């Protein structure tokens, strides 16, 4: 009996999707190709008509290596018709917004959005006549009240990538859809393994593949996965903008994708161990880790998500100032100091989630640190943090 792809679990899909069409090798070859050749003029003319993955035309529409990655990503999101690839996660966010909005439209953006997302909304989109309004991600009634006739799209991000609050995505999505607005979500934190965005009422699921899917801190890429009509619109806008990812990087991303489940599982377990330890420290006022029982957003995470990852934040006690926070971070030997995350290596970052908010108050009792837990042994990471707290106290 042949296995039905619908019945396969994510781990199996990761291992079996986007494979080579050549039965003699596992992975798709890296096709470096600007030129696609046709056997004759009739085929050339037929090729112009068929604009889909798998139809050779010209390098800017991708080739077999990029199509394999897109197909594997699509397989992970139940309900998806296809995936469009972009040269970065930010390009994917910009591409999705440009596909969903027109001059005169209002875009509602969650107040905890990734900062470059805010900049796209208040910069480029404002110039194009789109009005961005921000909303408190934890206030569903307030969000519903903000929806107006001109609201054609909303952009969610859950958990927020600094502040880590989990919002009620199905409730926000249902309110938006009842108003006829498209629901876009930045699903980078959970990836489709941890959150099935289309199943929970979203129209377009955006990922910075730079993070978990790449997984090795060596590439930048983004994707939008969507159901039928949206996939076509995303594709059209992306092609008009001339967005293309290289076949070499698509192959790297596909390689990262093969181990996504085991890496996320390990990072989640290690993050939980570190989060639990931090929660018991006198220097820590609050741990903002959705997977941690009792942490903010944990109940919604349990209800809607099927997995976590290594990214979370914690709040220092209110008598700890920025100089002390920097002493803590600077003393860490196993944590690098850097922005990107989702790689195999752990990172620490001083963050100030309140700085850019306009629609909600950031009422944390102290300064924040964000950690990205990688694949190191969690006990070694805890020992490193303990060293950091000693350096912090020394003054």
Ligand X SMILES: *Cc1c(COP(=O)(O)O)cnc(C)c1O
> 234-293: which residues touch ligand X (CB under 6 A)?
none
225 sits near ligand X (criterion: CB under 6 A) = no
135 vs 21: CA distance, rounded Å: 46
* Closest by CA position to 69, among listed 264, 249, 260, 307: 249
220 sits near ligand X (criterion: CB under 6 A) = yes
Interface region with ligand X, contact rule CB under 6 A, candidates 40-48, 82-90, 162-170, 362-370: 82-90
Interface region with ligand X, contact rule CB under 6 A, candidates 83-91, 291-299, 349-357, 358-366: 83-91
Rg (CA), the chain: 22
Cα(first)–Cα(last) distance of the chain, in Å?
A: 68
161 sits near ligand X (criterion: CB under 6 A) = yes
Residues 6+ apart with CB under 8 A from 121: 97, 107, 109, 113, 130, 132, 155
Enter the tokens of residue 364. 């944390």
- The least CB distance from residue 294 to ligand X, in Å, is 24
Interface pick for ligand X out of 66, 71, 210, 313 (rule CB under 6 A): 210
89 sits near ligand X (criterion: CB under 6 A) = yes
Written as one string, the DSSP assignment of 155-210 is: EEESS-TTT-PPP-HHHHHHHHHHTT-EEEEE-TTTHHHH--TGGGT-SEEEEETT
179 vs 159: CA distance, rounded Å: 24
Interface pick for ligand X out of 151, 188, 270, 286 (rule CB under 6 A): 188
Interface pick for ligand X out of 121, 197, 208, 320 (rule CB under 6 A): 208
Interface pick for ligand X out of 56, 114, 135, 335 (rule CB under 6 A): 114
Q: Is the dihedral of CA 203, 308, 376, 322 positive or negative?
A: positive
Which of residues 88 and 238 has its CB atom nearest to ligand X in the complex?
Answer: 88
Interface region with ligand X, contact rule CB under 6 A, candidates 61-69, 129-137, 162-170, 206-214: 206-214
Binding residues for ligand X, rule: CB under 6 A, are: 88-90, 114, 161, 186, 188, 208, 210-211, 220, 222
């Amino acid at each position: 009996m042949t296995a039905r792809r619908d019945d396969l679990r994510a781990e199996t899909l990761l291992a079996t999707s986007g494979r080579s069409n050549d039965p003699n090798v596992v992975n798709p070859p890296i096709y470096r190709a600007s030129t696609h050749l046709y056997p004759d003029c009739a085929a050339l003319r037929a090729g112009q008509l068929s604009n889909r993955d798998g139809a050779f035309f010209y390098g800017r529409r991708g080739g077999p290596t990029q199509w394999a990655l897109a197909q594997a990503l699509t397989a992970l999101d139940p309900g998806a018709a296809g995936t469009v690839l972009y040269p970065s996660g930010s390009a994917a966010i910009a591409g999705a917004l440009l596909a969903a909005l027109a001059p005169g439209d209002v875009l509602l953006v969650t107040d905890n959005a990734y900062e470059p997302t805010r900049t796209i909304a208040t910069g480029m989109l404002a110039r194009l006549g789109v009005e961005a309004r921000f909303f408190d991600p934890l206030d569903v009634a307030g969000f519903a009240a903000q929806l107006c006739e001109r609201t054609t799209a909303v952009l969610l991000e859950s958990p927020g990538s600094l502040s880590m609050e989990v919002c009620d995505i199905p409730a926000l999505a249902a309110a938006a859809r009842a108003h006829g607005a498209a629901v876009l979500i930045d699903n980078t934190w959970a990836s489709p393994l941890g959150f099935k965005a289309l199943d929970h009422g979203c129209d377009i699921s955006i990922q910075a593949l730079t993070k978990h899917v790449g997984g090795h801190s060596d590439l930048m890429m983004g994707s939008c996965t969507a159901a039928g009509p949206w996939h076509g619109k995303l594709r059209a806008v992306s092609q008009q903008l001339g967005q293309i990812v290289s076949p070499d990087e698509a192959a790297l991303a596909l390689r990262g994708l093969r181990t996504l489940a085991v890496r996320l599982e390990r990072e989640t377990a290690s993050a939980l161990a570190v989060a639990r330890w931090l929660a018991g420290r006198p220097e820590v006022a609050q741990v903002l880790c959705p997977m941690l029982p009792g942490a903010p957003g944990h109940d919604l995470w349990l209800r809607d998500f099927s997995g976590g990852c290594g990214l979370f934040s914690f709040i220092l006690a209110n008598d700890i100032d920025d100089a002390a926070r920097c002493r803590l971070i600077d003393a860490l030997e196993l944590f690098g100091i850097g922005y990107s995350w989702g790689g195999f290596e752990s990172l620490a970052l001083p963050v100030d989630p309140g700085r850019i908010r306009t629609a909600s108050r950031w009422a944390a009792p102290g300064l924040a640190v964000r950690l990205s837990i990688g694949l190191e042994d969690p006990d070694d990471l805890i020992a490193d943090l303990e060293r950091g707290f000693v350096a912090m106290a020394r003054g």
